[in-house]
Copies of this chain bind each other. A is one copy, B any other.
Amino acid sequence: MLPTVDSTQKVTLHKMPAAQRRNQIIQVAKNLFSQKGFVGTTTREISKAAGVSEAIIFRHFATKEDLYAAIIDFIIQGYNQDFQAEMDLAMKEKDELRLFQTLALAILETHRKEPALLRLLLYSGLEGHKLSQLFMDTQVRPIYQRISGYLSQRVKEKVVVRSDTMVMVRGFLGMVSHHSLIRTIYGDPFLKKSNEVMSKEFAQIFLNGILIRTSKKK
């Protein structure tokens, strides 16, 4: 907030509890870092966007790097994985279409609602910060493990073709993630379908690709 002028023409400062200010700075900085990268974002910009003086930034975070680390924590912590429950259910019921459709939609919708996350991840990967590695280890790898494990079980049950299930997961997540990337970064002017439709079509292609064809249907 910028200082506001009251009725007596006197400037009144907007003081905020430390925790709240700290959180506000994190939010503001997250957006700026995601738009312009770590080196591309200046502490002055952040302070201006937060409506405080630059010194306030350094009262809450010792260095610019510390602020970045706090953003990392915030993201890792607050990353919502409530789609996990639905995926569990789909696995239990051995409903592959629903499983992969849910997974795809969760990813696409996350990136649509929070494009800053994807951009921040890419920047941090390119700039060599630890966010990317941490995110891969704590968020992405478990998904690989779970899906890959499930597929391996389905291979044994002669439902999925005998091949490297890690490659399958990589392939499917590639379809979805790459689509988000193109959409988020390049705008994607020539493929404007909804995330629901894209999820369904990706899941269909993928499942036709890995399921052993039975002649029961069509």
Interface residues, chain A, CB within 8 Å of chain B?
36-37, 39-40, 119, 122-123, 125-127, 132-133, 136, 141, 144, 161, 163-164, 166-168, 170-179, 181-182, 185-186, 190-191, 193, 198, 201-202, 204-210, 213, 215
Contacts and interface: CB of A to CB of B under 8 A. Distances in A.
Contact of A201 (B141, B167, B208): B167
A175 B170 contact: yes
- Taken together, the copies of this chain in the complex come to 2
A99 to B, nearest CB: 16
A154 to B, nearest CB: 15
Contact of A126 (B172, B182, B185): B185
A175 B185 contact: no
A171 B205 contact: yes
B174 A179 contact: yes
A164 B201 contact: yes
9 contacts: A37-B39, A39-B39, A126-B185, A132-B186, A171-B206, A174-B175, A174-B176, A204-B209, A215-B215
A206 B201 CA distance: 12
A41 to B, nearest CB: 9
A122 B122 CA distance: 8
A31 to B, nearest CB: 14
Contact of A167 (B127, B178, B202): B202
Given A126-B185, A168-B205, A171-B201, 19 more contacts: A37-B39, A39-B40, A40-B127, A122-B126, A164-B193, A167-B198, A167-B205, A170-B175, A170-B178, A170-B179, A171-B202, A171-B205, A174-B174, A174-B175, A174-B176, A178-B178, A205-B206, A207-B209, A208-B208
